[in-house]
């Protein structure tokens, strides 16, 4: 396709789906402009590579996400390439042309290369399928671009631009589905989800990330086959969940996961939050509350100029998962959830650990869940400076996230109560800021170090030094900074009863 052509051509008009033919016969002006933008983004290095493959009698095409994103008007960063050449042939074709080649993914048909400042991945036309109990796909090579595209997850990802001629190929109506913001599969959804069950998670992720709806048949298949997610590795599921949570509207994806039964196999604690409410035991809908807290945390992220924060969003979603286990009914129809933050923190660490989240993420989210109720003892500002210091010190580097989580956790419809809570939290944040400025709260340490403790008490290294250090830390939190001579005197008094 040259710059003078009015619209992209279809690679093979005979393969265009009936749905696509019935649409409008060609790209809209917006789509035409988007495809022109994609064409302009194709670097000469990629064109040169396409010419190199064509000269050797092989096909090469840009495929999937880059084409979809160009049609959506989104920035195109990386180009995924596909070819009919098998990996060994790809290696031969780029030998002497590429600056570097790597074969980490060659078992799955992928060859990576670097040319100048560009890194490219070329994957042989292929199809993948999972055996009923297998966690690893079986890969077989295809012979045509259409055969490769039909094994793609969704029609909106089953479009391509052939190189070097730059022809637009859309054999399964992806462009029409893109315009309708609809997720369909190139073939039967049951076959697609059987080939790779992770596509069930990918469907709900695209709903949250791109604002797409799931076609009715896709919904049915996802619900019917959700149990197939059990054969997918925890790492792959985690990666999709992360993308979902960091999307513009994760609530959409979470609700779909719960409604379709997907969450039962990924985050079973979330559907369990839908506690029954009868006429005698009324209490807040914990599931709806948790989704609202997630929404409000995201709003506060934006208001405070924060980037999308995985730790904060996980904590917002999971902060009340201890409630079903701790629910108790008291006289008068009152419902309690005593210590649900402690139970919930343990459950959070267990679930995130099972999903193979990094240890620091597991620890941070668990700590936020454990701390999310601490503020509610603040009242109208009755806390002493000592209590405020402890609050800030216990949160440590998570303090800003705890501020956001605690504010987001207010979902009451009582405007007077909500305003009072907001004023109280404004107050504690001001007090923390003042104390931080005066005392460097994030670096609170005892007024004496370990060497000074040993010298004053006349002891050597050992557990007693740690106990003395903790005593001085409590003293520091209670009283604020102390002069060294005053701290030493208090330490001697402590030592008379403990050394």
Residue 120: phi and psi, rounded to 5, are -130, 150
Mean pLDDT, residues 370-379 taken together: 84
Residue 178 has pLDDT above 50, yes or no: yes
Share of the chain above pLDDT 70, in %: 86
pLDDT, tens digit, 9 for 90 and up, residues 257-275: 999 999 999 999 999 998 7
In three-state form (DSSP H/G/I as H, E/B as E, the rest C), the secondary structure along the chain is CCCCCCCCCECCHHHCCHHHHCCCCCCCHHHHHHHHHHHHHCCHHHHHHHHHHHHCCCCEEEECHHHHHHHCCCCCCCCEEEECCCHHHHHHHHCCCCCEEECCCHHHCEEEEEECCEEEEEEECEEEECCCCCCCCEEEECCCHHHHHHCCCCHHHCCEEEECCCEEECCCCHHHHHHCCEECCCCCHHHHHHHCCHHHHHHHHHHHHHCCEECHHHHHHHHHCHHHHHHCCHHHHHHHHHHHHCCCCHHHHHHHHHHCCCHHHCCCCCHHHCCCCCCCCCCCCHHHHHHHHHHHHHHHHHHCCCCCCHHHHHHHHHCCCCHHHHCEECHHHCEECCCHHHHHHHHHHHHHHHCCCCHHHHHHHHHHHHHCCHHHHCCCCCCCHHHHHHHHHHHHHHHHHHHHHHHHCCCCCCHHHHHHHHHHHHHHHHHHHHHHHHHCHHHCCCCCCHHHHHHHHCCCCCHHHHHHHHHHHHHHHHHCCCCHHHHHHHHHHHHHHHC
Answer with the residue of higher pLDDT: 29 or 225: 225
Burial class of residue 362 in the structure, from the number of CB atoms within 10 Å of its CB (0-12 exposed, 13-18 middle, 19+ buried): buried
pLDDT band of 93, cuts 50, 70, 90? very high
Longest CA–CA separation in the chain, Å: 94
Confidence of residue 376 (pLDDT cuts 50, 70, 90): confident
For residues 54-71, give the mean pLDDT: 92
pLDDT at residue 19, rounded to an integer = 40
Query: Going from the N-terminus, what domains does the chain have, and what CATH number goes with each?
Result: 1-175 (3.30.460.10), 181-266 (1.10.110.30), 275-284+301-443 (no CATH), 450-498 (no CATH)
Grade residue 481 by pLDDT with cuts at 50, 70 and 90: confident
pTM greater than 0.85? no
At 438 the pLDDT is: 66
- Choose from 69-78, 398-407, 490-499 the range with maximum mean pLDDT: 398-407
């Amino acid at each position: 396709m040259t710059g003078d052509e009015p619209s992209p051509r279809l690679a093979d008009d005979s393969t265009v789906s009936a749905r696509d033919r019935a649409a409008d016969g060609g790209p809209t002006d917006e789509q035409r402009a988007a495809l022109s933008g994609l064409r302009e983004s194709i670097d000469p290095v990629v064109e040169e590579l396409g010419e190199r493959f064509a000269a050797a009698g092989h096909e090469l095409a840009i495929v999937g996400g880059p084409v979809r994103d160009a049609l959506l008007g989104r920035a195109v960063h990386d180009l995924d390439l596909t070819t009919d050449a098998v990996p060994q042939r790809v290696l031969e074709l780029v030998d002497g042309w590429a600056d570097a080649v790597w074969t980490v993914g060659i078992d799955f048909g992928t060859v990576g290369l670097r040319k100048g400042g560009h890194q490219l991945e070329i994957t042989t036309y292929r199809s993948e399928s999972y055996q009923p109990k297998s966690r690893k796909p079986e890969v077989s090579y295809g012979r045509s671009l259409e055969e490769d595209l039909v094994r793609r997850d969704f029609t909106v990802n089953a479009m391509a631009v052939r190189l070097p001629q730059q022809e637009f190929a859309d054999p399964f109506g992806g462009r029409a589905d893109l315009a309708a913001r609809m997720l369909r599969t190139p073939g039967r959804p049951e076959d697609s989800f059987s080939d790779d069950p992770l596509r069930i998670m990918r469907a709900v992720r695209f709903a949250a990330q791109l604002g797409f709806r799931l076609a009715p048949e896709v919904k049915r298949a996802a619900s019917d086959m959700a149990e197939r997610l059990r054969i997918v590795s925890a790492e792959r599921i985690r990666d999709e969940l992360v993308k979902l949570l960091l999307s513009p509207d994760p609530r959409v994806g979470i609700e779909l996961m719960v409604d379709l039964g997907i969450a039962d196999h990924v985050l079973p604690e979330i559907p369990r939050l839908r506690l029954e409410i009868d006429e005698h035991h009324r209490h807040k809908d914990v599931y709806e509350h948790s989704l609202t807290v997630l929404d409000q945390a995201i709003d506060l992220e934006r208001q405070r100029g924060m980037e999308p924060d995985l730790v904060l969003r996980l904590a917002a979603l999971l902060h009340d998962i201890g409630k079903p286990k701790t629910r108790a009914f008291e006289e008068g129809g009152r419902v309690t959830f005593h210590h649900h933050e402690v139970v919930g923190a343990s459950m959070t660490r267990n679930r995130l650990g099972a999903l193979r989240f990094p240890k620091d993420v597991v620890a941070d989210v668990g700590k936020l869940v454990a701390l999310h109720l601490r503020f509610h003892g603040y009242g109208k500002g009755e806390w002493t400076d000592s209590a405020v210091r402890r609050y800030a010190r216990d949160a440590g580097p998570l303090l800003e996230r705890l501020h956001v989580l605690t504010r987001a956790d207010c979902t009451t419809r009582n405007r007077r109560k909500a305003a009072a809570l907001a004023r109280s939290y404004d107050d504690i944040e001001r007090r923390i800021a003042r104390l931080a400025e005066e005392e460097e709260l994030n670096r609170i340490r005892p007024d004496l170090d370990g060497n000074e403790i040993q010298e004053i008490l006349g002891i050597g290294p050992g557990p007693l030094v740690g106990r003395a250090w903790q005593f001085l830390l409590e003293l520091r939190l209670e009283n604020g900074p102390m002069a060294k001579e005053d701290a030493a005197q208090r330490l001697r008094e402590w030592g008379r009863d403990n050394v």
